[in-house]
Structure 1
Amino acid sequence: MASNKRLATIVDPTNNFPLECVIRRVFRSSRDEECMLLCPVDTPVQILKSTNVYGWSAVNDEEVESILPAAAYALAKIHMHLVYSGFCYTARGGFCYSEDDIFDFHTGNLLLFFLLIHVCYISDDGQDVDGLPTEGVEITCFHMDGAHYMIYTPSNPLLFVAVKDQNGQLQIADDDLLEDPAIISAIDEETEFNALVEEEDALLESLIMGER
């Protein structure tokens, strides 16, 4: 559990819903603005619909609202709770997966968009992918009115940049600020840190398996 000092809440101005996040890094922009690299506390989720042509496609906003009760029930059956968070839907509860559970959306002809706006998604090679995750993990599936739906989450951390305004309130960084060298440097450092953590975990797992 993260310390309260490492948590921050940012409010979606379109619906006033909060999104609770873990503060991954605090730094200053080249314009001396206080910035934070944030990661949602709960698991970001997207609902996809099975199609005969493309495999999976993103569900539009109108359809999402109509299937949310069914999605919430599907998550509840695996002891997870659907949260109406700001900027995106999230799921609260324990969720574990292995590398074998990750699939590549590009190879599956998946048409998708993620509900987070102005997201800095950190991929395996450290490049910004304009908020579109290329790999994800299926959390659960459900059926409704003859259609098949999947609830998935990106396999890598979903990070975005927030900046404090003149009133001390956190706001999502605009596109121009995302090109700031200080922000790019912070994202690169976080990418390198995540890669080191993954390498250590893999090494520890191999040592444990070797002892067996």
Structure 2
Amino acid sequence: MELPEPPTGFVLDDNGTVTLSTTNRLATIVDPISNLPLECVIRRVFKSSDRDECMLLCPVDTPVQILKSTRDGWSAISDEEDESVLPAAAYALAKIHMHLVYSGYCYTARGGFCYTDKDILDFHTDDGKEVDGLPSEGVEITYFYLKNTRYLIYTPPEPVQFVVVKDENGMFQMADDDLLDDPAVIDSIDEETEFNALVEEEAAVIEALMDDEEDSDEEDYY
């Protein structure tokens, strides 16, 4: 079985030894609407079918979104309301030692947090239908109250990825929908997905081995 290529900047030989091919693995893209930057990690570097230079990026910080609680469940908030709740959202994140970053394309939060399966929320309705404007799942980071309304700050459970392409001015811009259908782009995304799945499988194997070692130590003790 051929293993997927590691992320850009790493070389893995047949013995599993890792070497660095570059330490420059960060890129910044600018949202043309807000003119705000978004710092990203370069996951893949490749060329489109038309030989345009492309990259697959993931935000350095944790992407976050804000929902509010209604009688019908969680609901997306408008851009106007979004701006009005940001100070309270920033304070809620600060209380758990995270920092709200006003970044381009999406808000992000800087700092680490831990979560379990209990923190993964299902945003489907009671009858299993999807809610307009919401993903199917989200990981709860924290929540806050404002004017007797509960708000939730969450992050998607899967990595947020951006495909960017170098324009005629040598700047990387967000890829349009047509480019996302390009076979070269699809192959790059698939390779990243396969690599992430391999990482999760590896983590599960290591966890199982550690559990076996703990059970063995307990048996030796008795």
Q: Common fold, TM-score beyond 0.5?
A: yes
Q: How many residues are matched?
A: 192
Query: Does structure 1 residue 19 correspond to structure 2 residue 21?
Result: no
- 1:22 is aligned with what amino acid? V
Shift of 1:33: 0.3
* 1:4-58 deviation line (CA, Å, top 9, x unaligned): 51000000001110000000000000010000000000000000000111x1011
Query: Does structure 1 residue 30 correspond to structure 2 residue 32?
Result: no
* 1:96-140 deviation line (CA, Å, top 9, x unaligned): 222332233235666353xxxxxxxxxxxxxxxxxx642210000
Question: Paired residue for 2:185?
Answer: 183
Question: Paired residue for 1:121?
Answer: none
Unaligned 5+ residue runs, structure 2?
1-8, 10-21, 215-222
Question: Paired residue for 2:171?
Answer: 169
Decide whether the 8 Å contact of 2:47 with 2:54 is kept in 1.
Answer: yes
Query: Does structure 1 residue 44 correspond to structure 2 residue 75?
Result: no
TM-score, scaled relative to structure 1: 0.86
Shift of 1:160: 1.4
Residue number among 206, 209, 212 corresponding to 1:207 in the alignment: 209
Separation in structure 2 between the aligned mates of residue 59 and residue 98 of structure 1, nearest angstrom? 26
Shift of 1:142: 0.3
Separation in structure 1 between the aligned mates of residue 98 and residue 149 of structure 2, nearest angstrom? 22
> What does residue range 1-212 of structure 1 map to in structure 2 within 5 Å?
5-53=24-72, 55-106=73-124, 111=131, 113=133, 133-212=135-214
TM-score, scaled relative to structure 2: 0.82
SS of 2:164's equivalent in the other structure is: strand
Larger radius of gyration: 2
Indicate the percent of aligned positions where both proteins have the same amino acid: 70
SS of 1:65's equivalent in the other structure is: helix
Separation in structure 1 between the aligned mates of residue 61 and residue 23 of structure 2, nearest angstrom? 15
- 2:131 is aligned with what amino acid? L
- 1:52 is aligned with what amino acid? R
Decide whether the 8 Å contact of 1:57 with 1:110 is kept in 2.
Answer: no
Decide whether the 8 Å contact of 1:58 with 1:111 is kept in 2.
Answer: no
Separation in structure 2 between the aligned mates of residue 11 and residue 195 of structure 1, nearest angstrom? 30
- 1:75 is aligned with what amino acid? L
* 1:139-174 deviation line (CA, Å, top 9, x unaligned): 000000010000000011011100011111110000
Shift of 1:211: 1.4
